[in-house]
Structure 1
Amino acid sequence: MSYQTILTAVEDTILTITINRPDKLNALNQTVLEELAMIIDELINNAELKAAIITGSGEKAFIAGADIAEFSGLDAAAGTALAQKGQQLFARIENAPKPIIAAVNGFALGGGCELAMACHFRIASENAKFGQPEVNLGLLPGYGGTQRLTRLIGKGRALELLLAGTMIDAVTAFNYGLVNRVVPQGGLLAEARSLLAVINTKAPLAIAACIEAANLAALPGNSGYEKEAESFGRLITTNDAREGIAAFMEKRKAEFKGS
């Protein structure tokens, strides 16, 4: 399938999704959101794909925010619907059973920061900048940014960024726990692929269960412990678990089949 605003490539079962609006610093408009939803569904449903990387076209920006021109003239109902649409997509990414890395090259602001936070983890280039500057428009983040930023870096730091509308650099983002790694820009995608190559050697059902249980840790009325125990019991009966246990006992590398 061809897209207007997204480039895709597959290498060794890893899907790379590139937001491709460099003249707009890859700003998120409705077309981007709709096409991103389609490609995420493809990732989830295609058994030949094991993981994904989301990045931005060019060296200046991952995604510099939403396309502000689309906000003009919206009434309250339309604004709420717009935010809900973005939240639903980003929740779909967050809860995907296959790992998705945000490879952040340059500005990750507003909706771009929100998209990066919806991914399972983030690798940043040395020139990356993060921020939620919506207060400068008289708004707040609408795609889940107030919630995920608070969970990732804590309420005090999150409120400072949300209320001041300022940016932080890649090293600060790493120190805050917003990103997992900071690498030179030229090695950004290679670093993401290297990490996913390791993850892709593990049991797919176990990976999906880890993502599901970890996501529950942030929810009210946390049922993560119950889900963890239930998933452990379910996984221990799978062919992959039998293979993993046998391989450990036999001192060999396990070969997981996802069953």
Structure 2
Amino acid sequence: MTFLRRLAVWPCLRLPVRGLYSPTLDVAAAGTVPRVSLTRSKGQLCTHSRKLHSESPSSEATEVELNKLDGGDIGIVEVVMCRQWARNSLGKVFVHQMQELVSTLHHDSAVRVVLFRSAVPGVFCAGADLKERAQMTNAEGERFVHGLRSLMTAIAMLPMPTIAAVDGFALGGGLELALACDLRTAAFSAQMGLIETTRGLLPGAGGSQRLPRAVGFSVAKELIFTGQRLGGERALQLGLVNRAVEQNHDGDAAYKEALGLAREILPQGPIAVRMAKEAMNRGIEVDIASGMAIEGMCYARVIPTRDRQEGMAAFIEKRPPQFTGE
């Protein structure tokens, strides 16, 4: 399947593959969200069809875009969240665009690793768009949360490995998005938490189910009951993230760590990696005997592949394998 180099549903905010940025904050009136701009230190400047600081963005603005890496990183695809004016909060347009991009990824056999990252300095995803939610009726709110839950499930069901790069705030639905990914990296300065109980709610997009699977039952209960926030170091200690690093001057330390992790996955047999993910994801939900049967079925699907033959030949010939995903 042909994969577009940059696929987006609307005219887009471009983010260079490896361009570095440093955040500058323009503090707005008290009680409002600070306006954020990007100052590029390398590569081309981000462009957009309107001013980045607009408080009333056009409905045609891109809030999520897909970025396919090239060169030695072919096979790594980034889902870039760029809802600048609302700190990547989960609004209707954001969720709709994310759903369409995730659906596209699900059917693309050329994609080997998906990396979820933010183009907004200091923020991964700030959670629900409370301004939008306040305008919804109870029934509309329930339908919207159902759509959020479906989005997180679609992310979790992507057949290839997924990595969330948490370089800033990942609160409520933002952490639920990260939890829907297979792996997570974080900067020490990141702030993560399922804070819904502080708003009179509970996690409604999978957090009450995925957090216990990540950190254990009793720890997850404590975190959700108290609504507390964790920094990157504490998140690493609890197993909430796989890797945590000091934040750098450019504010993208977690992204760089995630990209390095993606590069470690990239050379491995893509079919084998996908089948390993399926075996683990399905097996963890059943008893050990059923899990063994699932593993056997996944293993059987790898046996007839050219990649398995290539892996064996490369081992015998003492050379790196050249996997093609066939």
Do these two structures clear the TM 0.5 threshold for a shared fold by scoring above it?
yes
Match for residue 160 of structure 1? 222
Match for residue 48 of structure 2? none
The partner residue of 1:200 within 266, 276, 283 is: 266
Indicate yes or no: 2:278 matched with 1:212: yes
Question: Is the 8 Å Cα contact of residues 283 and 294 (structure 2) preserved in structure 1?
Answer: no
1:71, CA displacement in angstroms?
A: 2.4
1:88, CA displacement in angstroms?
A: 1.5
Tell me the SS of whatever aligns to 1:130. strand
Amino acid paired to 2:304: T
Q: Distance in 1 between matches of 2:139 and 2:255?
A: 39
Q: Distance in 2 between matches of 1:23 and 1:79?
A: 22
Tell me the SS of whatever aligns to 1:148. helix
The partner residue of 2:299 within 232, 240, 245 is: 232
Q: Distance in 2 between matches of 1:54 and 1:256?
A: 24
Tell me the SS of whatever aligns to 2:230. strand
Q: Distance in 1 between matches of 2:310 and 2:110?
A: 21
Which shows bigger deviation, 195-204 or 71-80? Answer: 71-80
Q: Distance in 1 between matches of 2:9 and 2:138?
A: 34
Indicate yes or no: 2:321 matched with 1:254: yes
Residues 90, 37 of structure 1: alpha-carbon distance in 2 compared, 3 angstrom cutoff:
same
Tell me the SS of whatever aligns to 1:168. coil
Which shows bigger deviation, 75-84 or 144-153? Answer: 75-84
Which shows bigger deviation, 237-246 or 214-223? Answer: 214-223
Question: Is the 8 Å Cα contact of residues 95 and 211 (structure 1) preserved in structure 2?
Answer: no
Amino acid paired to 1:139: L
Amino acid paired to 1:180: N
Amino acid paired to 2:92: Q
For structure 2, which runs of at least 5 residues remain unmatched after alignment?
1-7, 11-61
The partner residue of 2:168 within 95, 106, 110 is: 106
Question: Is the 8 Å Cα contact of residues 211 and 220 (structure 2) preserved in structure 1?
Answer: yes
Q: Distance in 1 between matches of 2:184 and 2:101?
A: 19
1:62, CA displacement in angstroms?
A: 0.4
Which shows bigger deviation, 49-58 or 244-253? Answer: 49-58
Indicate yes or no: 2:104 matched with 1:37: no
Match for residue 171 of structure 1? 233
Tell me the SS of whatever aligns to 2:189. coil
Moved segments of 4+, more than 6 Å = none
TM-score when normalising by structure 2: 0.75
Question: Is the 8 Å Cα contact of residues 61 and 108 (structure 1) preserved in structure 2?
Answer: yes
Match for residue 64 of structure 1? 126
Amino acid paired to 2:256: A
1:76, CA displacement in angstroms?
A: 4.9
Indicate yes or no: 2:291 matched with 1:242: no
Match for residue 67 of structure 2? 9
Question: Is the 8 Å Cα contact of residues 175 and 193 (structure 2) preserved in structure 1?
Answer: yes
Tell me the SS of whatever aligns to 1:82. helix
Tell me the SS of whatever aligns to 1:230. helix
Residues 221, 86 of structure 1: alpha-carbon distance in 2 compared, 3 angstrom cutoff:
farther
1:185, CA displacement in angstroms?
A: 3.0
Question: Is the 8 Å Cα contact of residues 243 and 255 (structure 1) preserved in structure 2?
Answer: yes
Question: Is the 8 Å Cα contact of residues 93 and 119 (structure 1) preserved in structure 2?
Answer: yes
Question: Is the 8 Å Cα contact of residues 43 and 51 (structure 1) preserved in structure 2?
Answer: no
1:40, CA displacement in angstroms?
A: 1.3
Identity %: 34
Q: Distance in 2 between matches of 1:253 and 1:54?
A: 29
- Which aligned pairs between 1:184-195 and structure 2 lie closer than 5 A? 184-186=246-248, 187-195=253-261
Q: Distance in 2 between matches of 1:196 and 1:130?
A: 22
Residues 237, 48 of structure 1: alpha-carbon distance in 2 compared, 3 angstrom cutoff:
closer
1:16, CA displacement in angstroms?
A: 1.6
1:125, CA displacement in angstroms?
A: 1.2
Question: Is the 8 Å Cα contact of residues 125 and 174 (structure 2) preserved in structure 1?
Answer: yes
TM-score when normalising by structure 1: 0.93
Q: Distance in 1 between matches of 2:124 and 2:158?
A: 21
Cα displacement string for residues 100-136 of structure 1 (whole angstroms, at most 9, x for unaligned residues): 1100011110000000000110000121111011111
CA RMSD of aligned residues (A): 1.8
